[in-house]
Amino acid sequence: MLTHGTYLIDTDICIELARKNPIVVEHVRAVGASECKISDVTLAEMYFGAFKSGREKHFNDVTVISGLFESYPIGYLRKYGELRCMLEKKGLKIGDMDMFIAATALEEDLILVTGNTDHFERIPGLRIENWMEG
């Protein structure tokens, strides 16, 4: 179910979009690419994957994704610190990159779109959708 609002698209969803996953493509079409944003963290993760694979197609995927969606710079350092401290105190640590993405979604009041709901559900107040489900 799609919620009305602006969406922050997580790395795994961008990868599925590059793979032309029909479910993900349809979700983006349904809300409109202009309502979808990404984080520079996602671009960094995609570049890492491209360098790791060494395949030109993966570098092209980053170019396509970065041209399709507006990107938020890595920021929200205070919110990142707050999230990391809160999660570590609860023994619920998640990866640093995911915390930067979550901080962006929270501070910009965006709905985070991810297939990695297990990690992100640990963060209070974070609105999440999984576009890899039909």
| The pLDDT value given to residue 4 | 65
35 in a domain, yes or no?
Answer: yes
Residues 6+ apart with CB under 8 A from 49: 15, 58
Query: Does residue 40 lie in a domain region?
Result: yes
Q: Residue 99 sits in a domain of what CATH number?
A: 3.40.50.1010
Residue 2 reports pLDDT greater than 60: no
The pLDDT value recorded for residue 119 is 86
* Residue 63 falls inside a structural domain: yes
- Burial state string for 86-122 with b = 16 or more CB within 10 A and e = fewer than 16: ebeeeeeebeebbbbbbbbbbeeebbbbbbbeebbeb
For residue 64, what are the domain limits? 7-129
Domain count for the chain, please give it: 1
pLDDT at 133: 81
Cα separation, 110 vs 64, whole angstroms = 22
- 16 and 132 Cβ atoms separated by less than 8 Å: yes
pLDDT in tens, 64-121: 999 999 999 999 999 999 999 999 999 998 999 999 999 999 999 999 999 999 889 9
Average pLDDT, the chain: 94
Task: Give the three-state DSSP class for 22.
Answer: helix
Query: Is 1 part of a structural domain of the chain?
Result: no
Q: Flag whether 2 is in a domain.
A: no
Task: Look at residue 12 and tell me if it is in a domain.
Answer: yes
Q: What is the value of pTM for the model shown?
A: 0.93
For residue 134, is it within any domain? no
Name the amino acid, one letter, at 82. Answer: E
